[in-house]
Amino acid sequence: MVLVLNSTEVRAALPMKEAIRSVEEGFRALGAGRAVVPKRLGISIKEFDGSLLCMPAYITDQEALAVKAVSVYPRNQEKGRPTLSAVAVLLDPRTGEPLAIIEGGALTAIRTGAAVGIATKHMAAEGARRVGIFGAGAVGRAAADAVKEVLGEPVIRVYDLVRARAERFAKEVSRQLDIDASVAADPRDAASWADVIVTATTSATPVFDGRCLGSGAHINAMGANSPDAREVDTATLLRARGRIVLDSKEACMAEAGEILIPMAEGAIRESDIFGELGEVLAKGRAVRRSEKDVTLFKSVGVAVQDAAAAAAVYKIAKAAGIGREIQF
């Protein structure tokens, strides 16, 4: 029997605390060489301004074997439709048989939020509490949930190009997470104030001026994932030089405009990259030298996150009787 989980069931079966635990375990396995994560396959659907990505992974520690297919259509936002659609398939590593078919949009948002929480936990300055979130979508909401888990009682300012979305985000996050969330007047109002920044937008150009960052700020750059797009500017990379952590160096060196554009400009070099998040976790490496350092985590998304999250949601859903089983 194969378990089928829709987006509501995924959210019900995978609380952020468990997502952070599972995804952190996956990243640690990746850093220790106990996970197989090939470079993702992608194709462009140019006439519709979309793309399709295929992301397989196997984590030996968790016996998690999964593949996710995800489509990204930025112009869907204009039509009131999701910019990201996805489906994940979890398989039994012993037999290769499918165990679960999982709605991938909710899974992706949760596992991306979990990565924000993990990076913030290990890279933000001690006592960090003020969080600026750029982008009032599903990933921004998951990030709010994640920073609450790792920071305790964060205070959030959200900025979105559409103010009504930001206002709705602040109202819902305040009510659902019982934290203080408000709308930033402009990008500087969020970036210059924050101890921790999360960028979770579809923007192809920087969403704030890195020169306005406060001392000791930590940035989680989660949105852009193509060589010619970036949410974070060169000024930010210069301030974080030597304290830049990637989810996957191979993937970021192929896809992350935040890294590739400043390199092409001659502003930073590959040696300015501290390492990968998995290595930081597996080896216990301290990224921050002082509370004044600016640190940056760049993520384009790696399949180890999906496999870890899929295994966790399957286990919890099976135990709780969530979802429905079908015969293949």
Would you state the pLDDT for residue 224? 82
Would you state the pLDDT for residue 225? 82
What's the start-to-end Cα distance of the chain, in Å?
A: 7
Would you state the pLDDT for residue 278? 97
Q: Which CATH code fits 122-301? A: 3.40.50.720
Q: Span 62-71, mean pLDDT?
A: 96
Predicted confidence band of residue 35 (pLDDT cuts 50, 70, 90)? very high
Cα angle for residues 212, 216, 217 (degrees, 5° grid): 55
pLDDT at 82 over 90: no
Residue 201 in contact with residue 223, Cβ under 8 Å?
yes
% of the chain residues with pLDDT over 70: 100
In the block, tokens 């101890």 appear at 195
pLDDT at 77 over 90: no
Would you state the pLDDT for residue 301? 94
Q: Per residue in 89-138, pLDDT tens?
A: 999 999 999 999 999 999 999 999 999 999 999 999 999 999 999 999 99
Question: b/e for 259-287, b at 16 or more Cβ within 10 A?
Answer: bbbbbeeeebeeebbbebbbbbbbeeeeb
In the block, tokens 């960090």 appear at 128
Residue 110 in contact with residue 303, Cβ under 8 Å?
no
Q: Span 224-245, mean pLDDT?
A: 95
Least confident window among 8-12, 193-197, 251-255, 316-320: 251-255
d(CA 172, CA 184): 15
% of the chain residues with pLDDT over 90: 93
| Annotated catalytic residue, options 17, 46, 68, 292 | 68
Q: In the predicted model, what is the mean pLDDT of the chain? A: 96
Would you state the pLDDT for residue 136? 96
SS3 content of the chain, % helix, strand, coil (to 5): 40, 25, 35
Residue 299 in contact with residue 247, Cβ under 8 Å?
yes
Q: Span 188-210, mean pLDDT?
A: 96
Would you state the pLDDT for residue 208? 97
Would you state the pLDDT for residue 214? 94
**Closest residue by Cα to residue 113 from 146, 148, 155:** 146
pLDDT at 39 over 90: no
**Domain definitions of the chain by residue range:** 2-108+304-326, 122-301
Residue 225 in contact with residue 256, Cβ under 8 Å?
yes
Predicted confidence band of residue 287 (pLDDT cuts 50, 70, 90)? very high
39 is known as an active-site residue? no
Would you state the pLDDT for residue 328? 81
d(CA 278, CA 281): 5
d(CA 205, CA 32): 34
d(CA 130, CA 214): 11
Q: Span 289-310, mean pLDDT?
A: 96
Question: b/e for 185-214, b at 16 or more Cβ within 10 A?
Answer: eebebbbbbbbbbbbbbbbeebbbebebbe
Q: Per residue in 254-280, pLDDT tens?
A: 999 999 999 999 999 999 999 999 999
> Side chain identity at 251, as an amino acid letter?
A
DSSP secondary structure letter of residue 229: -
φ, ψ of residue 23 to 5 degrees: the values are -70, -35
Phi-psi region of 295 (alpha: psi -120 to 50; beta: other; left: phi over 0): beta
Neighbours of 257 (CB within 10 A): 24
Would you state the pLDDT for residue 74? 83
CATH fold for domain 2-108+304-326: ornithine cyclodeaminase, domain 1 (3.30.1780)
pLDDT at 71 over 90: yes
